[in-house]
Amino acid sequence: MTQNTPTRRQFFAGAAASVAGLVIARSALAALPEPVIQTSAATGAPLAPNTGRPYNPVVTLNGWTLPWRMNNGVKEFHLVAEPVVREVTPGFVVNMWGYNGQSPGPTIEVVEGDRIRLFVTNRLPEPTTVHWHGQRLPAGMDGVAGLNQPSIPAGKTFVYEFEARRPGTFMYHPHADEMTQMAMGMHGFWVTHPKAKHPLIKEVDRDFCFLLNAFDVEPGSRTPKINTMLDFNIWCWNSRVFPGIDTLNVRHGDRVRIRIGNLTMTNHPIHLHGHEFEVTGTDGGPTPVTSRWPEVSADIAVGQMRQLEFIADEEGDWAFHCHKSHHTMNAMGHDVPTMIGVDHRGLVSKIQKVVPDYMLMGERGMYDMKEMEMQLPENTAPMMAGHGQFGPIGMGGMLSVLKVRKDQKPGDYSDPGPYKFPPGTVAYEWTGTTPSATQAKPSPVVTPDKEFRARKPATGHQH
């Protein structure tokens, strides 16, 4: 792959090549920083800065941070927009477009006041640009094709240069053929750390980030349908679905920050169990302290970013997920007819004479689907998957687990394994007799003395 202009054949070969790590000839890009490629979907270790101002690096869930080089005081990064193959969960890979071997692209971390130069090489089969969402910068660096710059033709490299003027939580994505390129997985995270102690930005022990993204991939296929507007079936955090999303592992008592950006076509109420958090920042910057209140769910609208912060002071394994129930489910959960209460006795064998593969689903609810090892088309994420220490979890999509442990070492992000519940603290089965139900006494009938007047028997309060 020494030529810069990908041919049609190279484009289709490119997806396969990137699995093994795309090799770019150094001679062709001699003056540029060598592009760094990452093809593993594992959560990368935080990238401690070895040049420039110090900061406490973030951890990108199932992602990584892009290294830079220092050139006369300027931080230089090299992004390569290209077709990639992403493992969305074990057994399910999707052809995507991304940056430097992955979708999402690598996280970019800089410090307030840094001078930044970003080289963007386009190895897609069509023009692209990069928009630096939320940044204060010169208009000519804002990346809207046609409006702020000519688009980057296939095979060419453009240079963006600006100062990171304000600290905060940002992202980047194309502003050229957005419908295709974002539906194919092109976006990445950006964090600008404060240059000094900031009155609205607390130092934290753990700083996680990820993007919400979604794809429409027919079961058995591996390329997203880019024209889908609403009916997506793969609901991702950083292009991963449960059980493929890594857990968030923290030490008991840690101050934890989770930065989330939404690049799907709908909102996601992100819900944390066992703790209350505050929203300490948006893509507009840190929020005033007087605007913060405790929450256990934060709705993240399309194109928004939110920073959630809390003290992890409850030991255990805590679910952390989108509260839309269809978003904690993988493909095949959407077009199944509701069968609850339908008596199918004797029916299946008759239907199977006409439709040999016919299978009955859901006449007692969908719970059985958790255990069912049904024959899925090749390359399909099971609708509900994942096991906990008590059995099947029965979810997919936008779900992970916050693991809070007393013995987790500072800076150790490794998975401590399942929580050891103290004896007597787990919900248990009642083994005594169950009394039969009694009918509650009917509420006394109150005749309103006026047509719209009612009396609440419990309080006697009149409306």
Q: What's CA 426's distance to the chain center, in Å?
A: 30
Closer by beta carbon to Cu ion, 322 or else 401: 322
Classify residue 127 by burial, with Cβ atoms within 10 Å: 0-12, 13-18, 19+: middle
Closer by beta carbon to Cu ion, 222 or else 327: 327
Closest distance of CB 304 from Cu ion, Å = 13
Let me know: does 353 contact 332? Beta carbons within 8 Å: no
Among 27-35, 154-162, 317-325, 438-446, the segment contacting Cu ion (CB under 5 A): 317-325
Q: How far apart are CA 407 and CA 423, in angstroms?
A: 18
Closest distance of CB 301 from Cu ion, Å = 11
Among 99-107, 249-257, 326-334, 372-380, the segment contacting Cu ion (CB under 5 A): 326-334
Q: Indicate the DSSP class of residue 19.
A: H
Closer by beta carbon to Cu ion, 35 or else 386: 386
E strands present in 152-239: 157-163, 168-173, 188-193, 206-215, 234-237
Instruction: Kindly state the tokens that stand for 125.
Output: 């089969």
Among 5-13, 141-149, 151-159, 321-329, the segment contacting Cu ion (CB under 5 A): 321-329
Let me know: does 398 contact 321? Beta carbons within 8 Å: yes
Closer by beta carbon to Cu ion, 171 or else 312: 171
- Residue 327 as a binder of Cu ion (CB under 5 A): the answer is yes
Let me know: does 299 contact 247? Beta carbons within 8 Å: no
Closest distance of CB 321 from Cu ion, Å = 8
Closest distance of CB 238 from Cu ion, Å = 14
Closest distance of CB 260 from Cu ion, Å = 11
Residue among 207, 208, 246 nearest 416 (CA):
246
Closer by beta carbon to Cu ion, 60 or else 213: 213
Among 201, 209, 312, 322, binds Cu ion (CB under 5 A): 322
**What number of chain residues touch Cu ion (CB under 5 A)?**
4
Q: How far apart are CA 66 and CA 108, in angstroms?
A: 6
Chain positions 369 to 428 lying near Cu ion, rule: CB under 5 A, are none
Residue among 230, 212, 233 nearest 221 (CA):
233
Chain positions 252 to 311 lying near Cu ion, rule: CB under 5 A, are 268
Closer by beta carbon to Cu ion, 116 or else 300: 300
What number of CA atoms fall less than 13 Å from residue 68's CA on the CB side? 25
Closer by beta carbon to Cu ion, 166 or else 324: 324
- Tell me which residues touch Cu ion (CB under 5 A): 268, 322, 324, 327
